[in-house]
Structure formats: C-alpha cells, structure tokens
Chains A and B, each alone.
Chain A
C-alpha cells in the first residue's frame, strides 16, 4: 500500500481496544485495528455489529468509554470533531441543499479559511478527480444519485484530509452504479494515497474495494485480514458465513487428530485436519458451493469428502445454477453448477455431493469460544 509520492499521504490510524457501551451492552467491544497509511480498510458487519458506532467514534461524533485512537501516533479522542482533519462521506451524502456543487465542495476549505482563489483551484481539481468538471454551478437538486455521490466524495477529499471516513457510501445507489463507483473510489483513494475507513454491510463491496476488511459481529472484531485471507482462511464459522456463500457443518476433532463431522458427512480422509490450528473439540467445517461437485449416489471419488441427499431446488443465480440439496439429516447444502459441465438433475433426485477435502476449511466455532461446552453436533448447521 504505498501512497502516491507527490501527494500528502494519509495518516496511520491505530485503534486500540476501543470500547463503547450503551447501558450495559457493549456496542463496540475492545476493538483494535492497526491501519497503515494509505490503506483502504472496510468495517464489515450486519446491522448491530458496531461498525457504524466505531466509525462515529473515529469521526468524533461519539466518544469511546475506553481505549485510544492514535492518528500518526497522536491521541485523537480529545480532539473535537472539526479539528480532526477528516474527510467524510455520509450515508445519503448529506449535501447542503442551499449551496451549489461548487459551494458544497468548497465548504471544508471555507471552514479551514483557505483563500478564495486557492479554493476555486482546489474545488476544480476535486471535481476533475470525480469526473464532474462542468458541474460547478449546478444545484444539488438537479443531480442524479450517482452525481450526488461523486460530489459528496469530492467534498470529502478536497481538504486532503488525513483520514477519509465513509458511512455506507454506496448504499442508496442501484447495482450498476454501485459497481462503477466502487472501482472509482478505490482508484481515487489509491491515487491520492488516502487512508480510508469505509463502513458497509455489503460483503461484495468490502471484497472489491478493501486492502483489509475488519469483520465485526456483536461489537467484537472477528477477523481483520485481506479479502483473500478472509475468504479463504476465515477464523471461525461467523467469518466463514459472512464472507461469501458457504456450506457449514459442525464437527469435532477427536483426540487422535481425526475429524468427526455431523449431518452424515463422510469426511475423507478423516485425518486431514490441522488440529494444531483449531485445537480439539467442536469445530466448523466449511466448503464453498463453487467447490462442491454433484454426482449420482455411489459415484463420488473415494478420496473425496461426501454427503448424500436429494435435490430440493434449483435456482438460477447470475451465470450459473445453484443446486440446493437436502441431506438425510435435514440440512440444506448448496452446490454451484460448473457452467462448463452442466448437470442433468431434477428436483427430488437422489445425489451425492462431494469435494476435495483440501478445499474445505476447518475453523473454530464462534459461539464455542464464547460459551464452553462442546456439545454434540447439531443438525441445524448450514447457512448460505
């Protein structure tokens, strides 16, 4: 993540065990993140995960109960919002309707007492950067959603802030526009060497834009990793189920290091488990639908893990079909059809799902780390 040399690069942001409670309930629970200069970090999580609260704490709209926030090594918590030198893109943009595009973008510069001529120059530059150079005199109400989003972005970067914070910046846009703007925001932040903290609940957006993703669940940091690591090496079943589609089984690692999986799954070979990574006891076994193959009963290769079931549904999803299979144990699994090898299957047909055991991931169970007792494997174990 090397920032562009000719620009003032973004700052480092060190979030140190930030905790925020509402009543007794921690909204953010001892979250620590070390964000590098010029890095694009996304706080990903469902609603109630604490991602927005954490962003508000970084912005200064809320104060933490514990922990510290260091920007380039300096404590930020005691600095009032307007002196934190942040740029911010708000949900629904929060553009000022009584000001035109130019005045909106120039607002942070006016607050920083930048001279009028310098202001004009930098506003023009920022509008150029978001590809709206001829829009300076337009009224906000004359702009489309995508254009408003760009103006909001220009307004956030015009002051060359040390930190760019974005709160669900693309949430209000339709899909095509969102895809285009995702790429554009990534390009811009890299060109300017900005340190970005972005909040979203959209895993696809997080995977596309981020250098690293901080996955939050119920106020706690589940995993802070690159999109690649998060996708291929989730630390537990929460991470596995949140990022990408997955079939998840419960299982247990036996004393000898072999794996015992619930739901009638034959895990083969049972010893192909890195017990040192997960310890013994209850575990989650996960496999991505795109890596699951589907065949007639009894035809699965001996070296593959497998499970028997019946096709319960076929769904067209984008460019491939999703085959939903219900196992004897009642769990629903998903296999994605390989477009190059179309399958001739129908609903109700008995099939065997199988996959290379090396493509499955064995992780710890999130709720087992919170509670203790590693109870018997359960049936209800699959999430998409």
Chain B
C-alpha cells in the first residue's frame, strides 16, 4: 500500500467526523435493529430458543439450508473456476467480454433473476414448452418448487462471488509458473493441478466461504423457486413472524442463524486470515 500520508489539523478532524457519521449510520441501521431482535428473542427467558430448537420444522429447515448452502457452494466452484480461469488467462478481448457478461448478471436485481428462472422453469415455462414441442415429454415436468430449482437460482445469483475471488487470485499467479512446470517435465494438466490450482486455493476458499455464508441467509430465491415444500431458515423465520405472529421464536431463530454465521466466519478466519474472510484481502500472491 506504500507509504502512509498523514493528514494534519483540520483535514484530519474532517475525516474523523466523516468516520463518526459512518459509525452513527451503522449504529442506527444495524446495531439497533439487531439489539431489538436479540432482546425479543429473550423476552421469555430462553424459552424461545428451546421452542425453536424443539421445533421439528425448524430443525428440518436447518438441514435444508445446510444442504442448499453446500450444494450451491460446490456448483459455484465447479462452474466458477473454469470461468475465472478463462477470464484470467485468455486474451484481452475475451477477458473483457467474460467480465462484462459477469457484471451484467451480477448487477441485475436478485428479484429479476429469480423471477426469470421462474419463467424458465414453470410448468408452462420455456423448458417444459420446448420439451413438449419436440415430443420428449407429454406432461410438464415438475421443475419449479423443487430443491433443484432453488439450487439453479442460487448458483446463478451467487456464482459471481466465487468467480471474482478466484479471478483475483489467479491474476496474481504468474503464467510463467505453469510454463516452468511444463519445462520441468509436467504435462499441461499436471502443471495446472500441481502448480496453478494449489496457488489459487485461497481465492477458491474465500469465494466458496462467501457463497456458503450468503446462502444461509437467502429468503427470496428459495421462496420463489423452491416453494414451501422444503423451507430454508429464512422461510422458517418469516413463517414464525409473519404467519404465526410469534416474533419471540422468530427472533430466536434469527439469533441462532447469526451465531452459526459468526462461528463459521470465526473458524474460517483461523485458517484463511481475517482479511480474506471479510473480502478485504489486498495482498497479491507472489510469483
């Protein structure tokens, strides 16, 4: 990051006040609501937590969420890695086209993307119509309101995080290393698996962690594509607060989710470094 410029006198005071303003915003927008949730979760002692953990449907939604998070992470890694690799190693034009396509998808509203998949996967959607038209199937397939539909939507929405994290890592790895490996007797494939891939692991890990944690809190996409049959945590919480009007138990569930996320990030920080986990890693890997 080079040298640090010190800002003197009034300039420094100005930046301090900007910082304080930011802090105030975080306090009002994040800490206060969070405190309210925690307080509500405790409005009947630990009974709300006992209720939440005793509810079979909540435990089931925990399992669904874990399953969704794991499969979304894996799909994002499998699809994202080759994409990131192509972006990092192809020529300038190709690299830009890939980046633009990625950003277009990334910046499109999550709702739009979820509804788009609904249109595609519906009983009267694109896929079913097409398959029926060419005579592969008679009756429409059950595509929407399945775990698979949720997985497709979630992967589409979250894969950019994996791609960008891997891409940043790959860009820091000199292509000379893989070339050197070949010069020393490795095939292209072995050069990749023995040199490039291990060096890109931190990026893959950071991207995967991000996708995993983000998946845990998703509500809209599972609701629109997965239906109510296999609810995730978010759906359980909404059911408690909006349908059963049981804000205490709902809050307890939210607090449990928060604790799970904090534990995962804490464990990951131990192995990956805090900067990487928070997505603010700046160091480029050395040659």
Contact = CB atoms under 8 A, between A and B. Distances in A.
Given A96-B177, A97-B286, A59 B183 contact: yes
B283 interface: no
A82 interface: yes
A90 B190 contact: no
Interface residues of A, number: 29
A107 B179 contact: no
A112 B185 CA distance: 7
B214 to A, nearest CB: 28
B182 interface: yes
B176 A92 contact: yes
B183 A61 contact: yes
A87 B185 CA distance: 9
B286 A90 contact: no
Given A90-B176, A94-B287, A141-B286, A82 B199 contact: no
Contacts of B177: 94, 96
Interface string A228-241: 00000000000000
Contacts of A80: 187
Interface string B160-189: 000000000000001011011111111100
Nearest to A97: B286
Given A92-B176, A94-B176, A81 B183 contact: yes
Interface string A59-101: 1110000000000000000001111011110111011111000
Contacts, number: 65
Interface in B192-248: 194-195, 198-199
B285 interface: yes
A115 to B, nearest CB: 16
A111 interface: yes
Interface residues of B, number: 20
Contacts of B190: 82, 111
Interface in B271-287: 285-287
A155 B184 contact: yes
A363 interface: no
Nearest to A110: B194
Contacts of B186: 82, 107, 111
Interface in A94-151: 94-98, 107-108, 110-112, 141
A246 interface: no
B40 to A, nearest CB: 48
Interface in A247-274: none
Contacts of B183: 59-61, 81, 86, 88, 90, 165
Contacts of B187: 80, 82
Nearest to B285: A97
A61 to B, nearest CB: 6
B285 to A, nearest CB: 7
A156 B176 CA distance: 15
Contacts of A86: 183
Contact of B181 (A59, A87, A107, A156): A107
A94 B286 contact: no
A81 to B, nearest CB: 5
A156 B282 CA distance: 33
A159 interface: yes
B286 to A, nearest CB: 5
A85 B185 CA distance: 7
A112 B183 CA distance: 12
Contact of B179 (A61, A95, A112): A61
B184 A97 contact: no
A153 to B, nearest CB: 13
A110 B195 CA distance: 13
Contacts of B195: 96, 98
Contact of B185 (A96, A97, A98, A159): A159
A107 B193 CA distance: 13
29 contacts: A60-B183, A61-B182, A61-B183, A81-B182, A82-B182, A82-B186, A83-B185, A85-B185, A86-B183, A88-B180, A88-B183, A92-B176, A92-B287, A94-B174, A94-B176, A94-B287, A96-B177, A96-B180, A96-B195, A96-B199, A97-B285, A98-B199, A110-B194, A111-B181, A111-B184, A155-B184, A159-B184, A159-B185, A165-B183
Interface of A: 59-61, 80-83, 85-88, 90-92, 94-98, 107-108, 110-112, 141, 155-156, 159, 165
Question: Closest 5 A-B residue pairs measured CB to CB?
Answer: A94-B180, A111-B185, A88-B183, A108-B184, A81-B182
